[in-house]
Amino acid sequence: MAVAAVCGVLIAAAVIRPSLLTVHTSKKAPAAKTAPTQPTTTATATSTATASEAPVPTSRPSVSPYSSDGSYAVGTTSLVVVDPVPAGAGAGRSLPTAVFYPGHAVPAGEVPPDTTHAPYPLLVFSEGYNISVHAYSALLGDWASAGFVVAAPTYPDTEPAGPGALNENDITNHPADLRQVITTVLATAREPGSVLSGLVDANEIGVVGQSDGADVSLAVAANSCCHDPRVKAAAILSGAELASFGGNYQLSGRVPLLVTQGDADTINLPGCSAQIYDAAGPPKFYLDLLGAPHLTPYVGPGPDLRIVANVTTEFFDGELAGQTAALAALTTDGNVVGGSTLTTAPATPQPGGQCPGAPG
């Protein structure tokens, strides 16, 4: 699926502030409610961890009844993830990775991590082609404010402000990159003194991506080429199956799946998302954003971004943390008159047909 320069034009016209929406969830209620903000901390780490890490058993404190909004201040830090062995990409490549985490609000300065309610599930977000990670800051901050650690790598050769020419074919290396991001974040969270120390629950990992990033997330969640068994849930935001990854998609029963799609999207056609959803087994959810184009629902601002923030957060709350009340809220927030419909039916009512770029 090619997003190409179209998305670059769109995002140039939409300046996104790193501010938070009010979202319909809270992973664990902090002792005191804080107004959501998004200041940053500047801690930077470089990791070259290479081995896949087995999930580390962790204990989770008991949770209070499901809350209807984000409760944490949001801090950010950065990692440089080094993927040493991407296929056909030389000796190694670096992925600057922004990390958003739940924190305590303070009057000024850095946001300290909230370790009282740790560990938190990890979400790894993959950007679209020719779109900066920072364009999605509002959405990434929402997830962190709701009690997730969110890692968002910048993939080589697909970043509009990168040092080299754009090369969408580099997407075939991104699943290996994504797996390395998971490994590196888990390793960093085990390091004493790290900003992320003790924050990440290695047993609760989700992947989420938009456009080409959704293709990458789906491959890691459900394609034999690149499957990572550490991934326990996936949200595919306007994505598609991609033949160039090779392998076979095994969607039935592999991981809980949320598929979102604007029905006026002319870049990732609705049939592409319908193909993914229809092949998947339950639990699965299809969010149809009525009249929405390809990019706006995920970078906003506007009502579509609010719907996406609510539904994605509740999906991961329900499927990663087992909060059944979140799944009930998901049904309510996914059905907005004039805005969206959400279904768990065996198949979508969307038009079918072959998706360009998908396996035949």
pLDDT for residue 3 is more than 50: no
Widest CA span in the chain: 56
Residue with tokens 């970043």: 159
CATH superfamily of 25-49+67-343: Alpha/Beta hydrolase fold, catalytic domain (3.40.50.1820)
pLDDT for res 107: 76
pLDDT digits (tens, 9 = 90+) for 83-116: 876 555 555 788 999 999 999 888 777 899 999 9
pLDDT digits (tens, 9 = 90+) for 5-35: 333 322 222 222 233 333 333 344 433 323 3
Cβ-count burial 120-148 (b if 16+ within 10 Å, e if not): bbbbbbbbbbbbbbbbbbbbbbbbbbbbb
Cα separation, 25 vs 308, whole angstroms? 13
Distances (CA, A) of 272 to 206, 217, 289, 342: 21, 15, 14, 17
Q: Report yes or no: 4 and 128 within 8 Å, Cβ to Cβ.
A: no
Higher-pLDDT residue of 91, 55 = 91
Q: Tell which residue, 226, 204, 52, 179, has the closest CA to residue 123.
A: 204
Q: Report yes or no: 150 and 144 within 8 Å, Cβ to Cβ.
A: yes
**Residue ranges covered by each domain of the chain:** 25-49+67-343
Cα separation, 75 vs 144, whole angstroms? 8
Q: Are strands 284-289 and 340-343 parallel, antiparallel or unpaired?
A: antiparallel
pLDDT for res 256: 97
pLDDT for res 354: 76
pLDDT for res 53: 29
Record the tokens describing residue 317, joined without a space.
């709350």
Torsion sign (Cα): 187, 179, 150, 27:
negative
pLDDT for res 38: 36
pLDDT digits (tens, 9 = 90+) for 211-270: 999 999 999 999 999 999 999 999 999 999 999 999 999 998 889 999 999 999 999 999
Higher-pLDDT residue of 2, 206 = 206
pLDDT digits (tens, 9 = 90+) for 259-276: 999 999 999 999 999 999
**Neighbouring-strand partners of residue 125:** 208
pLDDT for residue 66 is more than 80: no
pLDDT digits (tens, 9 = 90+) for 30-47: 333 233 333 333 333 333
pLDDT digits (tens, 9 = 90+) for 162-208: 666 788 999 999 999 999 999 999 999 999 999 999 999 999 999 99
